[in-house]
Homo-oligomer: A and B are copies of this chain.
Amino acid sequence: MTGGYQTDKVTRLETNLDDSSPEILGATMDKLFAAGALDVWFTPIHMKKNRPGILLSVICEATRVEPIADIIFRETSTFGLRTEQVVRLKLERRFETVTTEYGEVTVKLGLKDGRVVQVSPEFESCRAASEKSGQPLRSVYAAATRAYADRS
């Protein structure tokens, strides 16, 4: 614990890609999540010889480094990866269900020292309510936020 936050240690994997097609990278993202990546993202970068390259970043548990590296070497054109240890500061997570005019929605709560400091309607739950009700997604978010606030 650091200042009331939970901490853990994870690994960041990174590689610069200048000869992989975006179409294949999009599909690679799905495979990395399926293999247990905690997060995956792309950053547009400028590489040598006027190449509009992509920096692929993955966060994972130390135990998942090898299978995730295997996927990156398999699916992309890279010959090397960079790895670093990073420390995370985290809120404790809890889920609750609230009732809105669009149906029930799950809300993700973040706690510090046992106190709720973060309230975030859960995306898939909001999307389901949005599709069922035919109302805009952001209206469902606003309703879920309001419903949580009103019950507290």
Q: Which residues of A contact B (CB under 8 A)?
A: 2-3, 5, 10, 12, 16-30, 33, 39-55, 59, 65-66, 69-70, 73-75, 77-84, 86-91, 93, 108, 110, 112, 117-118, 120, 123, 127, 130, 136-138, 141-142, 145-146, 149
Residues B93 and A79 in contact, CB atoms below 8 Å apart = yes
Please measure, in the bound complex, the distance between the C-alpha atom of A10 and the C-alpha atom of B18, giving whole angstroms: 20
Instruction: List chain B residues, Cβ under 8 A from A70.
Output: 3
Could you give 26 example pairs across A and B, Cβ below 8 Å?
A2-B65, A3-B69, A12-B82, A16-B39, A18-B21, A18-B22, A19-B24, A19-B123, A20-B138, A21-B138, A23-B49, A23-B51, A26-B51, A27-B127, A28-B137, A40-B48, A41-B45, A41-B55, A73-B118, A75-B137, A77-B118, A79-B90, A79-B120, A80-B91, A82-B87, A146-B146
Contacts of A19 in B (CB 8 A): 21-24, 120, 123
* Apart from A21-B21, A49-B50, A81-B90, 15 more pairs, CB < 8 Å: A2-B66, A16-B39, A16-B41, A18-B21, A19-B24, A19-B120, A22-B51, A22-B52, A24-B141, A26-B51, A29-B50, A33-B48, A42-B45, A75-B138, A142-B142
In the assembly, what is the distance between CA of A59 and CA of B123, in Å?
27
